[in-house]
């Protein structure tokens, strides 16, 4: 296959925009209203989409990197400008790590550029941490309420953003200064390892149940209920923040949930009445009848199914 294309017309408040994405061997190209989008970050943020995929169910027991990515996707939906901020941070981090490798291999002896990178990472890192902290503060009470409704257990759950560098500053400039100081203190270690050891790229999202780490103490069913509670809370938060319900994408999740939690999911969707796209291997998993349209994908062909 030479190319794959995905397109959609999005009607938001009477304003219709056309999104198009082409995937080719040489890379991807995004178009908005027929025009190539540069930078690509401008393509995002025009409307909100919440994706619930089977791999999300492994997040509580996964690596900190998986939880950071999980959190960052949600923060971006809440504040689209966060994408550019995160990209700026990642670019400076990549440059700093490249310089650390050069210093370790003695291809360079000049550390003055590290001062510049440390200052930039401090400022960008403080902003990234502030965005994450605010988002976790917003979603946590919704998450706790949603879990109680889903699991129906008298066991408290909670979320906490866990920075790798605990700061004492009360504002963003203060956190930036402490991050920069931390980078300076770890410089010798970072050169020896050729990797940056301080910053939000080392942080974690901690999920707990009954005051204990969920990844170690929660059952598989409880973990799945926690992820479902997160997505439920995310939908509520985004609707409140942006004034309309996001589009929900469910990628074969129903087959991974037990019947009771799958029933809760569709009860919630009936109340929210958000537009929802569901993929599944069998129609019996979809507990919805109102305003439903089914399509079958077989051997690359898409066919609308008779509702009767």
Q: What is the mean pLDDT of the chain?
A: 89
Q: Is the pLDDT of residue 308 over 90?
A: no
87 CB neighbour count, 10 Å cutoff: 14
pLDDT value of residue 283:
79
Q: Is the pLDDT of residue 195 over 90?
A: yes
What is the longest distance spanned by two Cα atoms in the chain?
A: 74
Q: Is the pLDDT of residue 39 over 80?
A: no
pLDDT value of residue 307:
58
Residue 110: burial class (beta carbons within 10 Å; 0-12, 13-18, 19+): exposed
Q: Which residues contact 18 (CB under 8 A, 6 or more apart)?
A: 7, 8, 9, 10, 31, 32, 33, 34
SS3 assignment, position 112:
helix
Residue 195: burial class (beta carbons within 10 Å; 0-12, 13-18, 19+): middle
Distance in angstroms (rounded) separating the CA atoms of residues 124 and 82: 11
Distance in angstroms (rounded) separating the CA atoms of residues 180 and 176: 6
Strand 204-209 and strand 35-36: the pairing is: unpaired
Distance in angstroms (rounded) separating the CA atoms of residues 293 and 277: 10
Q: Which carries the bigger pLDDT value, residue 117 or residue 221?
A: 117
Highest mean pLDDT among 3-7, 108-112, 213-217: 213-217
pLDDT in tens, 139-148: 999 999 999 8
**pLDDT confidence bin for 187, thresholds 50/70/90:** very high
End-to-end CA distance of the chain: 35
pLDDT value of residue 238:
93
pLDDT in tens, 140-177: 999 999 998 888 888 999 999 999 888 887 799 999 99
Q: Determine contact, residues 17/32, Cβ cutoff 8 Å.
A: yes
Q: Is the pLDDT of residue 108 over 80?
A: no
Token readout for 199 is 């910053």
**pLDDT confidence bin for 122, thresholds 50/70/90:** very high
| Domains located in the chain, CATH noted | 1-43 (no CATH), 44-304 (1.20.1050.90)
pLDDT in tens, 280-293: 888 778 887 778 88
Q: Is the pLDDT of residue 1 over 70?
A: no
Under DSSP, the state recorded for 284 is: G
State mean pLDDT over 255-264.
81
Please state whether the predicted TM-score (pTM) of the whole model is above 0.85: yes
């Amino acid at each position: 296959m030479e190319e794959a294309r995905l397109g959609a017309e999005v009607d938001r408040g009477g304003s219709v925009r056309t999104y198009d994405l082409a995937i080719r061997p040489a890379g991807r190209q995004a178009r908005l209203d027929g025009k190539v989008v540069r930078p690509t970050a401008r393509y995002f943020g025009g409307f909100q989409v919440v994706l619930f995929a089977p791999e999300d169910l492994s997040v509580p027991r996964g690596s900190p990197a998986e939880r950071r990515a999980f959190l960052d996707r949600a923060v971006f939906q809440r504040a689209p400008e966060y994408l550019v901020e995160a990209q700026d941070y990642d670019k400076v981090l990549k440059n700093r790590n490249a310089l650390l490798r050069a210093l370790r291999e003695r291809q360079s002896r000049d550390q003055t550029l590290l001062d510049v990178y440390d200052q930039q990472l401090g400022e960008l890192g403080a902003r990234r941490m502030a965005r994450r902290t605010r988002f976790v503060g917003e979603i946590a009470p919704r998450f706790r309420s949603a879990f109680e409704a889903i699991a129906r257990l008298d066991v408290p759950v909670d979320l906490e953003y866990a920075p790798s560098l605990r700061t004492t500053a009360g504002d963003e400039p203060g956190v930036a200064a402490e991050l920069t100081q931390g980078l300076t203190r770890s410089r010798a270690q970072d050169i020896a390892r050729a990797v940056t050891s301080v910053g939000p790229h080392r942080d974690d999202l901690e999920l707990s149940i009954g005051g204990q780490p969920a990844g170690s103490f929660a059952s598989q069913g409880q973990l799945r209920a926690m992820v479902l509670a997160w997505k439920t809370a995310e939908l509520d938060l985004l609707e409140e923040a942006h004034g309309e319900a996001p589009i929900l994408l469910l990628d074969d999740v129903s087959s991974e949930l037990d019947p009771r939690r799958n029933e809760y999911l569709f009860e919630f969707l009936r109340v929210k009445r958000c537009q929802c796209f569901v993929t599944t291997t069998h129609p019996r998993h979809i507990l919805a009848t109102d305003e439903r349209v089914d399509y079958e994908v077989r051997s690359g062909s898409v066919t609308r199914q008779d509702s009767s």
